[in-house]
Amino acid sequence: MNIKVDITEQREDFARLEIAGEIDAYTAPALREKTEPLSKQEGIHVVADLSDVSYMDSTGIGVFVGLFKGIKANGGHLQLIGLSDRLKRLFDITGLADIMDINSEVKGGME
């Protein structure tokens, strides 16, 4: 089980993550390690592209909840894009889709 997490764009107030692979109990620590510094930056807008995530379990959900809470506590915004129907359903079932900015248009990036 592998995961790849790349910060493909970063400015003082913006970061874009591209995540690929599976997010589970084995790979979640690597994802958390890469994203945790972003959650501590004041007023950052983070866009996480999950287009290439093939699988995610509750451990992965936990990483994104932690990231969301940290970013929000520091006046920032987390946006998740590129979710497959399966991943979107995970966020819907947990009620997180009502709280988090999921699968909407990218705002704030240099697209």
Tens digit of each residue's pLDDT (9 = 90 or more) over 9-46: 999 899 999 999 999 999 999 999 999 999 999 999 99
Q: Which helix (H) or strand (E) holds 74?
A: none
Report the pLDDT value the prediction gives residue 103, as an integer from 0 to 100.
Answer: 77
Q: Are 29 and 45 in contact (CB under 8 A)?
A: no
**Which of 41, 27, 53, 83 lies closest to 92 in space, CA to CA?**
83
pTM for the full predicted model: 0.89
Mean pLDDT is lowest, of 42-46, 70-74, 100-104, for 100-104
* Domain contains 47: yes
Tell me, what CATH number does 45's domain have?
Answer: 3.30.750.24
E runs forming strands in the chain? 3-11, 14-23, 45-56, 77-81, 101-102
* Domain contains 109: no
Number of separate domains in the chain: 1
* Domain contains 111: no
Report the pLDDT value the prediction gives residue 106, as an integer from 0 to 100.
Answer: 53
Looking at residue 73, the DSSP 8-state letter turns out to be H
62 is in which domain, residue-wise? 3-102
